[in-house]
Chain A
Amino acid sequence: MSSPPPLRHPVPTHPAYIPEPPSTPGSPNGYQRFSSSPGPTQQQPALPQQQHVPAYMTSPFQHQQQQQQPHSLHPPHHPHQPSFVPQPDFAAWGVNDATAQFGMQLGSSAVAAGQEYVQKNFGGIIPLSSIKHHFNVSNSYVIRKLQLVAFPWTHKSWSRRVHRSEQGQAEYQDPREDINSPDLYIPLMAFVTYILISAFHSGLQSRFHPKILGESASSALAVVIVDFLFVYVGCYLLNVQASKQAVDIIAYSGYKFVGVILTILSSYLYLSRALYYIIFFYFFFANGLFLLRSLRSLVLPDPALNSSTATISPGLRRRRISFLLIEAACQFAYMLFLVRV
Chain B
Amino acid sequence: MFGTIIYVSILLVNAMAVLSEDRFLARIGWTSARPQSNINPGFQAYDQPAFNPEVGVKTKMIDLISAVRTLLRIPLIVVNIIVILYELILGG
Residue positions of A touching B, CB distance < 8 A: 214-215, 218-219, 221-222, 225, 236-239, 241, 308-309, 311-313, 316, 319
Contacts and interface: CB of A to CB of B under 8 A. Distances in A.
Most buried by A among B53, B60, B61: B53
Nearest to A313: B54
B28 interface: no
11 contacts: A215-B1, A218-B5, A221-B2, A221-B5, A222-B5, A236-B64, A237-B60, A237-B61, A241-B51, A313-B53, A319-B57
Nearest to A219: B1
Given A218-B1, A221-B2, A312 B53 contact: yes
Contact of A236 (B5, B51, B60): B60
Nearest to A220: B1
Interface string B44-77: 0000000111110100110010000000000000
Contact of A237 (B5, B51, B57): B57
Nearest to B50: A308
Given A222-B1, A238-B57, 17 more contacts: A218-B1, A221-B2, A222-B2, A222-B4, A222-B5, A237-B57, A237-B60, A237-B64, A239-B55, A241-B51, A309-B53, A311-B53, A312-B54, A313-B53, A313-B54, A316-B54, A319-B57
Interface string B24-59: 000000000000000000000000000111110100
Given A237-B61, A239-B60, A316 B5 contact: no
Most buried by B among A221, A237, A311, A316: A237
B68 to A, nearest CB: 12
Interface of B: 1-2, 4-5, 51-55, 57, 60-61, 64
- Can you list the 9 inter-chain pairs with the closest CB atoms, starting with the nearest? A218-B1, A218-B2, A237-B60, A237-B57, A239-B53, A222-B5, A312-B53, A308-B51, A219-B1
Most buried by B among A238, A239, A312: A239
B2 A316 contact: no
Interface majority SS (helix, strand, loop, mixed), chain A:
helix
Nearest to A221: B2
B79 to A, nearest CB: 18
A173 to B, nearest CB: 26
A240 B54 CA distance: 11
Contacts of A219: 1
A222 B9 CA distance: 11
Contacts of A214: 1
A211 to B, nearest CB: 10
B81 to A, nearest CB: 25
Most buried by A among B2, B55, B64: B2
Contacts of A319: 57
Contacts of B51: 241, 308
Contacts of B60: 236-237, 239
Nearest to B55: A239
Nearest to B63: A236
B16 to A, nearest CB: 12
A225 B5 CA distance: 9
A63 B1 CA distance: 49
A240 to B, nearest CB: 9
Nearest to A226: B5
B31 to A, nearest CB: 18
B53 A316 contact: yes
Nearest to B57: A237
